[in-house]
Amino acid sequence: MSAADRDVRMRGFRQRTEVGAVIELIRARVHRLGWEKVPVRQAAGRVLAEACVAPMPLPPFDRAAMDGFAVRGEETTGASPYQPLEFVIVGESRPGRSFAGHVGPGQAVRIMTGAPMPLGADTVVPAEYTEVAGPVVRVTEGFAPGRHVSCRGEDVAQGEVLLPSRRVLRPQDVAVLAAAGIAEVPVVVQPRVRILITGDELLPPGSVPHDAFIVDSNSVMLEALVRRDGGVPLTGAIVPDRPEAIRHALLEDNADMLLVSGGSSVGPEDHAPLVLAELGELVVHGVAMRPSSPAGLGWLGHKPVFLLPGNPVSCLAAYDFFAGLALRRMAGLQEHWPYPCRKRILAQKIVSAIGRVDYVRVQVRPEGVVPLAVSGASLLSTTTRADGFVVVPRDREGYAPGESVEVYHFDLFAVDSDQVSVYDKLTSAC
């Protein structure tokens, strides 16, 4: 980008970069960060940096799968309620306290679920098929060798891959790692994302707007988005609309990525693009999409810097299309949007223009998908009233009523209004 093209203040953009070109640039230059080890208790939700291999078999010993008596299975053949077979009780095996002896012919060991199988025994007779009479237990049904025994390595064999790399660790995943004796887990380093909010008209979140001042909402939204996408948000004080203040904020070197909200458009106080070009690289400024056309992208060394418009809806769209993609790549996550996508029928037309990508907020109604009538980029409430959004590609003038469109849903848990809770299904069956 030439020096003349960089300064678009009060002149407008001469050209805008295609959305697809920005995405390919991010894919080419943004990669996963390194890895670190964290305690297994802190690993849930983190991204596994490398495959975890079982250092030992699970279970590590043969153990009882039922409460009852450990015996030699072949000796129970022919047992019945009318002709029970008797075994002498020679001891007990409990979880964490095994029987130290050996089970011989005609002998039994009282055993609890999860307790180690005693030497010489290969079967557990469940308690409901036994009758205890002093030092003797009567078995009322026969069981083949191996019944009700969980064998060593039955769950996981030693050397088996427990979990593959790039997996986002779930609660049950960290449980199996702990069961395998893994104390520390190799995970991708969480990217630190510094969020710079610029604007002389802004008050900190929690303030009451007054006179010509408005409350900063973008920092709150961006912090939540960064956490969603695997990053650690770092937010400081609001940066004044002055080049030296923006320059100082950009040079703070304690983050892996920078998000600059505001100061990226064509107004006289929009200094962020020129300051970024002075300190590093301004590769993109102006994108062929609506909203978010003033978005920009550059680098300070190896650190990506995203210029996000100050208007809240534009800020959200630019983050989701570009900054979120980069952050998920750095965090080792899948790069696709974390929004459920459903094909739905359009009830009203969506109007766009050839040559740009449109981010259209929509509602899902019984008659079909309806675009919101208000499309202002400063009206954040349009995203809360919307069920999701439709992306119109650059080669379309829009969609006609009756066409099938892909709706990306903001609500991650209630995509379909007619969805029945599993709790309701289970209780209705009772």
Share of the chain above pLDDT 70, in %: 92
**pLDDT on residue 413:** 63
Q: Is there a single domain that holds both residue 168 and residue 207?
A: no
Its pTM stands at 0.85
Q: Is there a single domain that holds both residue 179 and residue 194?
A: no
Residue of 209, 274, 268 whose CA lies nearest to 260: 274
Q: Is there a single domain that holds both residue 196 and residue 100?
A: no
Distances in whole angstroms, Cα of residue 394 to Cα of each of 5, 20, 290, 428: 23, 10, 11, 49
Q: Is there a single domain that holds both residue 260 and residue 178?
A: no
Distances in whole angstroms, Cα of residue 334 to Cα of each of 32, 302, 329: 11, 21, 7
- Strands 192-197, 257-261: parallel, antiparallel or unpaired by DSSP? parallel
Q: Which CATH number covers residue 169?
A: 3.90.105.10
Evaluate whether residue 421 is within a structural domain: no
Q: Considering the chain, what is the average pLDDT of its residues?
A: 91
Region 123-134 average pLDDT = 97
Evaluate whether residue 414 is within a structural domain: no
Q: Is there a single domain that holds both residue 99 and residue 130?
A: yes
Q: CA 362 to CA 369: how far, in whole Å? A: 7
pLDDT band at 425 (very low <50, low <70, confident <90, very high): low
pLDDT band at 11 (very low <50, low <70, confident <90, very high): very low
**pLDDT on residue 429:** 63
**pLDDT on residue 6:** 58
Residue of 32, 5, 19, 45 whose CA lies nearest to 335: 32
Evaluate whether residue 428 is within a structural domain: no
Q: Which CATH number covers residue 389?
A: 2.40.340.10
Query: Looking at the predicted structure, is the pLDDT value of residue 267 above 80?
Result: no
Evaluate whether residue 362 is within a structural domain: yes
| Residues 363 and 369 sit within 8 Å (Cβ to Cβ) | yes
pLDDT band at 414 (very low <50, low <70, confident <90, very high): low
Region 293-313 average pLDDT = 95
Q: Is there a single domain that holds both residue 205 and residue 319?
A: yes
Q: Is there a single domain that holds both residue 229 and residue 178?
A: no
Q: How many domains does the chain have?
A: 4
Domain with 107, as residue range(s), is 63-150
